[in-house]
Amino acid sequence: MTEGNSKKVVWVDTTLRDGEQTAGIVFAREEKIMIAKLLDELGVDQIEVGIPAMGEEEAETVCEIARLGLKASVMAWNRAVIEDIAKSIKCGVDAVAISIAVSDLHIEYKLRSTREKVIEQMVKAVEFAKKEGMYVSVNGEDASRADFDYLVQFIMAAKEAGADRFRYCDTVGILDPITTYEIIKKLKEQTSMDIEIHAHNDLGMATANTVAAIMGGATHASVSVNGLGERAGNAALEEVAMAVKYTLKIDHGLKQEMFKEISDYVAKASGRPVPSWKPIVGENIFAHESGIHVDGALKHPKTYEIFSPEEVGLQRKIIIGKHSGTAALVYVLEKYGIKVGKDDVRDLLTKVRKASISMKRALSEKEFLFLYHQWIAEKEQAKR
């Protein structure tokens, strides 16, 4: 990191709410509790734990998490419906999300309501929750397709009713980073409200849009572990955190060395394994095979790595395969106590390439060592 940026990002994790809304994912109660504890240890500020209105089973899980006494704020998600909010408050949470759609498309076709009625309904819900002493996030569903002036009117009404922040939802993931930056900046200027960005990844831009929103003045980031969430998912916690650290120079304040551990836990609990190339926590993001990369990374890791693998709980791997160069061979052999120079292993490299091409994959270190010993034996025999 070079120059610091004193801005703070407030982390709102939604793995247990939007993450669990990924079609087909169910977390067992014990898993929800464990994930909440891990997120708390990681240092997130607020955990969106579930939706009590779904019924007794889910409400009891939310209550149990609220009883854990976590450092993080515990938030329950709600429609702008007073009975739903009352169920959340009964669980002992300290914060409620009150959500209602704000685009004309949703208002007309889904809610079968009007702009005016939506504001009225939201205000009643906020006033109810504030009277009960809740921290309130007012969430504008489909905000990215809402009329801008209406959105300002909606946010000002929420603010007047006592809401603590506004969650700007890019519900269908239609934004790009430049538009996100501009909208959030304008909303911030016109409302002076704390703004949370909740981005979806339908066009592969959730992380970029979240970073852009922070640049534009968003105070809160809604994220999920491994980017779980509806359809293509949400902005991944670990990606946004490392991106703000290395692009905006913001201290994310999280125990980043836990990223791999929490990613593995959520992958297992959700039954959604993380691809090996997934940014930040993928098994192979610090794996180097190509000769030029391995040579560079061994001379100075920064040549091909933005940060060290240990920062996020991973380890560097040097892979022997079709694209290897001699530096990699020398390095791996040295790990096994075999000292050779680059020129000594040029013939061996030809054998490595051949083996890798015929197997259509990299070699394990054991396979490479067998090949090495076979090559030595052949050389000895040729001498006789």
- Beta-bridged to residue 5, according to DSSP, are 250
Out of 15, 99, 201, 224, which residue is the one contacting ligand AKG (CB under 6 A)?
Answer: 99
- Using DSSP, state whether 173 is helix, strand or coil: coil
Closest Cα partner for 263 from 283, 290, 243, 240? Answer: 283
Query: Which does residue 34 touch among ligand ACO, ligand AKG, none (CB within 5 to 8 A, set by kind)?
Result: none
C-alpha 161/C-alpha 176 separation (Å) is 31
Contact between 170 and ligand ACO per CB under 6 A? no
Query: Which does residue 254 touch among ligand ACO, ligand AKG, none (CB within 5 to 8 A, set by kind)?
Result: none
Contact between 200 and ligand AKG per CB under 6 A? yes
Contact between 324 and ligand AKG per CB under 6 A? no
61 or 99: CB nearest ligand AKG: 99
C-alpha 25/C-alpha 268 separation (Å) is 11
User: 46 to 105, contacts with ligand ACO by CB under 6 A?
Assistant: 51, 53-54, 79-81, 99-101
Out of 47, 97, 258, 269, which residue is the one contacting ligand AKG (CB under 6 A)?
Answer: 97
C-alpha 369/C-alpha 384 separation (Å) is 23
Q: How far is the CB of 263 from ligand AKG (least distance, A)?
A: 21
Q: How far is the CB of 99 from ligand ACO (least distance, A)?
A: 5
Contacts of 181 (CB under 8 A, 6+ apart): 212, 213, 215, 216
| SS3 of 332-359 | HHHHCCCCCCCHHHHHHHHHHHHHHHHH
Contacts of 346 (CB under 8 A, 6+ apart): 326
Contact between 224 and ligand ACO per CB under 6 A? no
Closest Cα partner for 259 from 229, 218, 214, 224? Answer: 224
| Look-up of token digits 């939604």 | 14
User: 38 to 57, contacts with ligand ACO by CB under 6 A?
Assistant: 51, 53-54
Contact between 167 and ligand AKG per CB under 6 A? yes
DSSP letter string over 149-163?
A: HHHHHHHHHHHHHT-
Query: Which does residue 54 touch among ligand AKG, ligand ACO, none (CB within 5 to 8 A, set by kind)?
Result: ligand ACO
Contact between 141 and ligand AKG per CB under 6 A? yes
Out of 7, 10, 21, 253, which residue is the one contacting ligand ACO (CB under 6 A)?
Answer: 21
Token pair belonging to 210:
């979240």
Q: Are 52 and 87 in contact (CB under 8 A)?
A: yes
Phi and psi dihedrals of 221, rounded to 5?
Answer: -120, 125
Query: Which does residue 198 touch among ligand AKG, ligand ACO, none (CB within 5 to 8 A, set by kind)?
Result: ligand AKG
Q: Are 368 and 332 in contact (CB under 8 A)?
A: yes
Contact between 205 and ligand AKG per CB under 6 A? no
C-alpha 206/C-alpha 147 separation (Å) is 21
Residue 115-154 contact track with ligand ACO, rule CB under 6 A, x = bound: --------------------------x-------------
| Look-up of token digits 């050389």 | 379
Out of 61, 88, 139, 144, which residue is the one contacting ligand AKG (CB under 6 A)?
Answer: 139
Query: Which does residue 51 touch among ligand AKG, ligand ACO, none (CB within 5 to 8 A, set by kind)?
Result: ligand ACO
Q: Are 134 and 162 in contact (CB under 8 A)?
A: no
Query: Which does residue 278 touch among ligand ACO, ligand AKG, none (CB within 5 to 8 A, set by kind)?
Result: none
Contact between 209 and ligand AKG per CB under 6 A? no
Out of 62, 118, 169, 241, which residue is the one contacting ligand AKG (CB under 6 A)?
Answer: 169
Angstrom CA distances, 268 to 28, 107, 271, stand at 12, 38, 5
Query: Which does residue 97 touch among ligand ACO, ligand AKG, none (CB within 5 to 8 A, set by kind)?
Result: ligand AKG
In the complex, the residues that contact ligand ACO under the rule CB under 6 A are 18, 21, 51, 53-54, 79-81, 99-101, 110-111, 141, 171, 230
In the complex, the residues that contact ligand AKG under the rule CB under 6 A are 18, 97, 99, 139, 141, 167, 169, 171, 198, 200
